[in-house]
Structure 1
Amino acid sequence: MKELIVNKEKITIRKAKESDAEVLIEYLNIIGGQSNDLTFGEGEFGRTVEAEREFIKNALEKNNALFIIAEVDGKVVGNLNFSGGPRKRIAHVGEFGVSVLKEYWGNRIGEELIRYLIDWSKNSKIIKKINLRVRTENKRGIGLYKKLGFLEEGVLKRDYLIDGEFYDSLLMGLLID
């Protein structure tokens, strides 16, 4: 668990628990409508509370997966999930997704979630590379990832299809030594 103060509010970053499933589904349904930078839009997340509970349980059982949330006064305001590869040859590398409620954008919550992931990866002795993909138009996200040491590795053409229009993604990676 990690705590920080941002704009006089105490933010707690902690590992998700199975009992968080219902509030996480509510949170994910909200953020899906707040940004086109996610892999899902409003009403598109498509996971039941039970399926989310199982997803969290699986993340807790694996030594190469992490699911964390950021809370303010018990309210989920951000999350990050990371999954390492399912087989021995690729267990050391994984990809993450991160999101923050729009009303909390600009408060370093996303940055702190990613820093938590990086520290966890270094301490895991398993994870040797963190990958991500980000829409090429998301300059703010790309700037944050570069600030944290991620390097550009390539572009996926037509990776997103939003309202009938294609968007490319930038692949980025961070080596963990």
Structure 2
Amino acid sequence: FRNLRLYALQESPTSFSSAYEDEVARPLVHTIERLKHQQQPNNCIYGAFAQEELIGMAGFFQHEALKLRHKSIIWGVYVLPDWRRQGVARQMMEVILNQIRTLPAVKQVHVTVVNNNDNVAAKQMYLELGFVEWGVEPRAILIDGQYYDEACLVYMLD
């Protein structure tokens, strides 16, 4: 997981709010603890494999705060370049949405996508799955002096 995440942060920096420099500086034990915490029905990381190679990943969590427990967030979606446009991300999203549907308190699923040419296919996939764009956060992330806006999408479960 850690190797793929670090690769993803370098290969597609505008697709993540985390920076490679921050992640690589964290000790391996940080990743291990993170993975341990994310083995619950409402807080998971999924992997897509070809043979035994991890080729994609995606995570989600349900908010813990009482007033926000009806919301879930999808994060860290990534597929290796050679495996893109083959339905890998869509399959992971379908698995995640099915898992989220088992959580009775969750009524909406949120995801953000940076508005740039690299993410057109990703945004289109979310829209095809039934997500609706409800707004844009201007200047959501800053990379090397350049700001990027993020599209905010929601999937309603009820």
What TM-score, normalized to structure 1? 0.80
Please give the residue correspondences for 1:58-77 in structure 2 after superposition, counting only pairs within 5 Å. 58-61=37-40, 63-77=41-55
In structure 2, list runs of 5 or more residues that go unmatched.
none
User: 1:115, CA displacement in angstroms?
Assistant: 0.7
User: 1:96, CA displacement in angstroms?
Assistant: 1.1
Equivalence for 1:168: 149
Q: Do residues 28 (structure 1) and 5 (structure 2) align?
A: yes
Counterpart CA distance in 1 for 2:87 and 2:22 is: 26
Opposite residue 129 of structure 2, the aligned amino acid is: L
Opposite residue 172 of structure 1, the aligned amino acid is: L
User: 1:41, CA displacement in angstroms?
Assistant: 4.6
Opposite residue 75 of structure 1, the aligned amino acid is: E
Match of 2:115 among 120, 133, 136: 136
Match of 1:85 among 63, 68, 80: 63
Count of matched residue pairs: 153
Equivalence for 2:135: 154
Opposite residue 78 of structure 1, the aligned amino acid is: G
Counterpart CA distance in 2 for 1:48 and 1:69 is: 21
Q: Deviation string for 1:8-39 (max 9, x for gaps)?
A: xxxxxxxxxxxxxxxx1111111112113222
The answer to whether the 8 Å contact 1:64/1:127 transfers is: no
* Greater fraction of residues in helix: 2
Equivalence for 2:17: 39
User: 1:157, CA displacement in angstroms?
Assistant: 0.8
User: 1:154, CA displacement in angstroms?
Assistant: 0.8
User: 1:125, CA displacement in angstroms?
Assistant: 1.9
Equivalence for 1:56: 35
In structure 1, list runs of 5 or more residues that go unmatched.
1-23
What is the percentage of aligned positions where both structures have the same residue?
Answer: 20
The answer to whether the 8 Å contact 1:131/1:172 transfers is: yes
The answer to whether the 8 Å contact 1:59/1:67 transfers is: yes
Mean alpha-carbon deviation: is it higher for 144-153 or for 103-112? 103-112
Counterpart CA distance in 2 for 1:48 and 1:146 is: 37
What TM-score, normalized to structure 2? 0.89
Counterpart CA distance in 2 for 1:49 and 1:175 is: 36
Counterpart CA distance in 1 for 2:67 and 2:39 is: 21
User: 1:127, CA displacement in angstroms?
Assistant: 1.9
Counterpart CA distance in 2 for 1:39 and 1:111 is: 21
Mean alpha-carbon deviation: is it higher for 146-155 or for 32-41? 32-41
Opposite residue 50 of structure 1, the aligned amino acid is: V
Equivalence for 1:112: 91
The answer to whether the 8 Å contact 1:128/1:176 transfers is: yes
Equivalence for 1:19: none
